[in-house]
A and B are shown apart, each in its own frame.
Chain A
Amino acid sequence: MKKFIVRVGLFFAMVFTIILALPVLDGKKESTTEFMAAMSDKHERIDGINGHKLILAGGSNLIFGVHSEKLEKELKIPVANLGLRAHLGLNFILNELKDVAKEGDIVLLSIEYFMDVEGDENLHRLVSYYNPQALAYFEPKYKSTFRQFFEYRHMLYKKLLTDYMTKGGPAYTRNDFNQYGDGIKHLEMKPPGVLGSRYVIKANKEEEIKALNDFQKFAVAKGISVLFTYSPYAITEFATNENELKELDSKFKERMRIKMISELDDFTYDEEFFFDNVYHLTKEGREMHTEQLINKLSREIKKDELNDESLVSTK
């Protein structure tokens, strides 16, 4: 029995050491393939722009659905696409904006319907592993359970092996972004044929509205203009969640103090214009969405009142 326990203990110690320590031993924390590592590239883009700019912030709908170069040419303002993952949560995204947005900038928030305030803690830790600056964008939960600890180390282990073995999956690697921060790999790819992220939408977004209003206060104080838009969405999913979405929209209109530039169904499209989930547009969908955005933004950006306090008070 003693021999058995010693040997089994030794074996599992070896295995867990490999899994838990590999990410630590791999000290460079740089990845040419990891999707989440692209945050640093996006920040570099923002830092490289002198003067006012349009920052697109939100989840991955922005990666797949915006042609930033076209936006930049039409609106005559430098564009930086900060979109990464909706599962990072609203608080994380807004804290990131507080860090990178400067006076005179215009922020366009394009938020997926399912996005919550908190986000996924493991994803926070993963993104901050590759981008240490992100540690300031969320509150680490020091009461992490053993399970969370294990799952996080396990996730890092998988990511590292994926880096070395497969060089990332198609359309989801760091290399698949252009200089603006848009995803470009999917533009030439055939859609996989199945649309994911078909979440049931809940109209209860009190915390989200509060977070957005707090951010608006911060932005006004700092001289940043903020606009809000709904993200692209498959029309079939829109129909499925229509009642909740309408309730959500009326709550936003009633209580949110950020200016909304789109109506609820402005960016709903047929499923054929979506790539791999109900928020990710194909090349054709991206062009349509960008045209509509240009239309709406050109009206807003020309208005001088964007930085005006009166905008806040009218809401």
Chain B
Amino acid sequence: MIFNSLDFAIFLPIVFIIYWFITDKNLSLQNFVIVLASYFFYGWWDWKFLSLILFSTVVDYWVGIGLSKYQGKQLRKLLLGTSIIVNLGLLGFFKYYNFFLENFVTAFSFLGNDIQSNTLNIILPVGISFYTFQTLSYSIDVYRKKLQPTKDFVAFAAFVCFFPQLVAGPIERATNLLPQFYKKREFVYDKATDGLRQILWGLFKKIVIADTCATYANTIFNNSEMYSGSTLVLGALFFTFQIYGDFSGYSDIAIGTSRLFGFHLNRNFAFPYFSRDIAEFWRRWHISLSTWFRDYLYIPLGGSRGGTWMKIRNTFIIFIVSGFWHGANWTFIVWGALNAIYFLPLLLSNKNRRNLDIIGNKGHFPTVQELSGMFFTFWLTVLAWVFFRAENISHAVSFLNEIFSPSILTYPEVFPKKILVLLLLFMILEWFGRKCEYAIEHIKYNIPVYGRWVAYCVMMSFICYYLGEQQQFIYFQF
């Protein structure tokens, strides 16, 4: 079931009513309703893959219990190893099996040894990269004794499969989300309306911005050999907004939906395209994944504490693994490596933490220096997205070659002015909301109630107008 569907529009109020009214605010019953609703939500896509979630849940639940029971170092390592092998094993098989096999065969063919290979017709279960990372965080935190293991199986199952963030994040830490399943939850009017407002904004970003940009990005990327450099720049620009609207829109809907049920999920995007350097961009883009890799990979590897070579090694590892997490394709690996190259000069010159505040913090507009940094960073990310979107490396290279050719000076063959104006208006809205958690949060303080209702109706009208064939969220495939 996807958020921008009629199915979800019916599902959500039904679950909401059962959750708040029929359970009589009984905590165990509410958790049980969440588990059932989440399995229904996931099973709507393919019920057969529910077994994977259940398997991962049972394994990590028992690993947690085992870690609390046994204090022997070896045994604890063995238990943690079991969790890591099971979760990464599932991920590896479903997501990377064919990739490794094909590359293995190619490598051997290159050396003159032809070997037979049988790739498997494997369907990638939606959200597997998200829920395996979430359960892994639980096992690791319990192992590190940062978290008490739960003995409430239903609460743990609800934590693993919590439907608002099950298939595309944010990847919640057990330390943040799991304790919320133990506490009595009260309905708070302000939180619920805030949740609805964020859902509305998320839908707007997905349907009006991302899906509209997708039409043009797909046309241009799928037929890139026919277009001039100027059109390809526009194609990359449309994909830049598509992926932002799509993924941050999903996160907004997930966070807003959670609020309706009395939960607080961590922020996943913080206006990344207003970043003044790449380091800031990575503090603002897909925050839950970046911090996951930071805490469970980068820091255990030594982080930036070692010498120069260690810093370089760790930076490349974290960015390349992060790229590879997105998909079994060399394009994602190159995308990760490119971001590491962008990031390294800042890290090595100790300038990676110079922009920790919000841009234009003191007024409405940025300084010239901030603006130039923002402009430069934005276009670096646009170029990197070409690798993310391209079919393969040679496609990305030929795409970029055409961009950096004289044809960039010609009038674009595809130039949808109205959409570009729409994107400009969207960025203006985002700019004025950059100090909030999401762009339209501030209207609850600045606009009287009737004005807000008009604004909501206008947004809904836009959403309904642009709502076409349901488009999957891009991050479902990761």
Contact of A158 among B227, B456, B465 (CB under 8 A): B465
Asked whether A4 lies within 8 Å of B467 as measured between CB atoms, the reply is no
In whole angstroms, what is the CA distance A150 to B457 when docked?
18
Residues 169-202 of B, flagged 1 when their CB comes within 8 A of A and 0 if not, give 0000000000000000001010011001000000
Stretch in contact with the other chain, from A8-16, A56-64, A251-259, A277-285: A8-16
Residues in A with CB closer than 8 Å to B193 are: 4, 7
**A123 at interface (Cβ–Cβ under 8 A)?**
no
Residues in B with CB closer than 8 Å to A154 are: 464, 467
Contact of B20 among A1, A8, A15 (CB under 8 A): A1
Asked whether A15 lies within 8 Å of B460 as measured between CB atoms, the reply is yes
In whole angstroms, what is the CA distance A14 to B455 when docked?
13
Asked whether B6 lies within 8 Å of A3 as measured between CB atoms, the reply is no
**B413 at interface (Cβ–Cβ under 8 A)?**
yes
Given that A15-B457, A154-B464 are contacting pairs, would A193 and B413 also be in contact in the complex, using a CB cutoff of 8 Å? yes
Asked whether A18 lies within 8 Å of B192 as measured between CB atoms, the reply is no
CB closest chain-B residue, reference A150? B6
Stretch in contact with the other chain, from B28-36, B72-80, B218-226, B354-362: B218-226
Residues in B with CB closer than 8 Å to A25 are: none
Asked whether A8 lies within 8 Å of B196 as measured between CB atoms, the reply is yes
Asked whether B219 lies within 8 Å of A194 as measured between CB atoms, the reply is yes
Residues in B with CB closer than 8 Å to A193 are: 219, 223, 226-227, 413
CB closest chain-A residue, reference B231? A193
Residues in A with CB closer than 8 Å to B187 are: 1, 4
CB closest chain-A residue, reference B462? A161
Residues in A with CB closer than 8 Å to B189 are: 1, 3-4
In whole angstroms, what is the CA distance A248 to B187 when docked?
62
**B461 at interface (Cβ–Cβ under 8 A)?**
yes
Asked whether B20 lies within 8 Å of A147 as measured between CB atoms, the reply is no
CB closest chain-A residue, reference B7? A147
Residues 443-478 of B, flagged 1 when their CB comes within 8 A of A and 0 if not, give 000000000010011001100110100000000000
The number of residues on chain A lying at the interface, defined by a beta carbon within 8 Å of a beta carbon of chain B, is 20
Residues in B with CB closer than 8 Å to A15 are: 457, 460-461, 464
In whole angstroms, what is the CA distance A138 to B477 when docked?
40
Distance (whole angstroms) from the CB of B4 to the closest CB of chain A = 13
**A19 at interface (Cβ–Cβ under 8 A)?**
yes
Asked whether B465 lies within 8 Å of A194 as measured between CB atoms, the reply is no
Residues in A with CB closer than 8 Å to B196 are: 8
Asked whether B6 lies within 8 Å of A147 as measured between CB atoms, the reply is yes
CB closest chain-B residue, reference A157? B464
In whole angstroms, what is the CA distance A147 to B456 when docked?
24
Residues 1-38 of A, flagged 1 when their CB comes within 8 A of B and 0 if not, give 10110011001001100110000000000000000000
CB closest chain-A residue, reference B193? A4
Contact of B192 among A4, A19, A158, A194 (CB under 8 A): A4
Residues in B with CB closer than 8 Å to A14 are: 457
For window 190-245 of chain B, which residues contact chain A by CB distance below 8 Å? Answer: 192-193, 196, 219, 222-223, 226-227
Asked whether B457 lies within 8 Å of A157 as measured between CB atoms, the reply is no
For window 138-181 of chain B, which residues contact chain A by CB distance below 8 Å? Answer: none
Residues in A with CB closer than 8 Å to B222 are: 194
Main secondary structure of the interface of A (DSSP, over half): helix
In whole angstroms, what is the CA distance A14 to B452 when docked?
14
Asked whether A161 lies within 8 Å of B413 as measured between CB atoms, the reply is no
Residues in B with CB closer than 8 Å to A3 are: 189
Residues in A with CB closer than 8 Å to B456 are: 11
Q: Which interface residue of A14, A18, A193 has the most chain B CB atoms within 10 A?
A: A193
Distance (whole angstroms) from the CB of A161 to the closest CB of chain B = 5
Distance (whole angstroms) from the CB of B446 to the closest CB of chain A = 19
In whole angstroms, what is the CA distance A259 to B222 when docked?
41
In whole angstroms, what is the CA distance A194 to B224 when docked?
11
Asked whether A19 lies within 8 Å of B20 as measured between CB atoms, the reply is no
For window 182-228 of chain A, which residues contact chain B by CB distance below 8 Å? Answer: 192-194
Distance (whole angstroms) from the CB of A158 to the closest CB of chain B = 6
Residues 37-52 of A, flagged 1 when their CB comes within 8 A of B and 0 if not, give 0000000000000000
In whole angstroms, what is the CA distance A11 to B189 when docked?
15
Q: Which interface residue of A4, A15, A194 has the most chain B CB atoms within 10 A?
A: A4
In whole angstroms, what is the CA distance A108 to B298 when docked?
71
Residues in B with CB closer than 8 Å to A8 are: 196
Given that A4-B192, A147-B6 are contacting pairs, would A157 and B465 also be in contact in the complex, using a CB cutoff of 8 Å? yes
In whole angstroms, what is the CA distance A210 to B367 when docked?
73
Distance (whole angstroms) from the CB of B116 to the closest CB of chain A = 29
Distance (whole angstroms) from the CB of A199 to the closest CB of chain B = 16
Distance (whole angstroms) from the CB of B53 to the closest CB of chain A = 28
CB closest chain-B residue, reference A153? B464
CB closest chain-B residue, reference A158? B465
Residues 396-414 of B, flagged 1 when their CB comes within 8 A of A and 0 if not, give 0000000000000000010
In whole angstroms, what is the CA distance A50 to B412 when docked?
50
In whole angstroms, what is the CA distance A151 to B7 when docked?
12
Given that A4-B189, A18-B461 are contacting pairs, would A11 and B223 also be in contact in the complex, using a CB cutoff of 8 Å? no
Distance (whole angstroms) from the CB of B325 to the closest CB of chain A = 32
CB closest chain-A residue, reference B187? A1
Residues in A with CB closer than 8 Å to B192 are: 4
CB closest chain-B residue, reference A166? B418
In whole angstroms, what is the CA distance A161 to B189 when docked?
34
CB closest chain-B residue, reference A1? B187
In whole angstroms, what is the CA distance A151 to B470 when docked?
12
Asked whether A11 lies within 8 Å of B453 as measured between CB atoms, the reply is yes
Distance (whole angstroms) from the CB of A26 to the closest CB of chain B = 15
Asked whether B223 lies within 8 Å of A18 as measured between CB atoms, the reply is no
Distance (whole angstroms) from the CB of B29 to the closest CB of chain A = 17
In whole angstroms, what is the CA distance A147 to B189 when docked?
31
In whole angstroms, what is the CA distance A7 to B223 when docked?
48
Distance (whole angstroms) from the CB of B211 to the closest CB of chain A = 13
Distance (whole angstroms) from the CB of B291 to the closest CB of chain A = 33
CB closest chain-A residue, reference B219? A194
Contact of B457 among A7, A18, A194 (CB under 8 A): A18
CB closest chain-B residue, reference A195? B223
Residues in B with CB closer than 8 Å to A151 are: 6
What are 28 A-B interface contacts by the 8 Å CB criterion? A1-B187, A1-B189, A3-B189, A4-B187, A4-B192, A7-B193, A8-B196, A11-B453, A11-B456, A14-B457, A15-B457, A15-B460, A15-B461, A15-B464, A18-B461, A151-B6, A157-B464, A157-B465, A158-B465, A161-B461, A192-B219, A193-B219, A193-B223, A193-B226, A193-B227, A194-B219, A194-B222, A194-B223
Given A7-B193, A19-B464, 17 additional A-B pairs, CB 8 A? A1-B20, A1-B187, A3-B189, A4-B193, A11-B453, A11-B457, A14-B457, A15-B461, A18-B457, A147-B6, A150-B6, A154-B464, A157-B464, A161-B461, A193-B219, A193-B223, A193-B227
Residues on A lying within 8 angstroms of B by beta carbon are: 1, 3-4, 7-8, 11, 14-15, 18-19, 147, 150-151, 154, 157-158, 161, 192-194
Q: 3 closest pairs, A vs B, by CB?
A: A15-B460, A1-B187, A193-B226
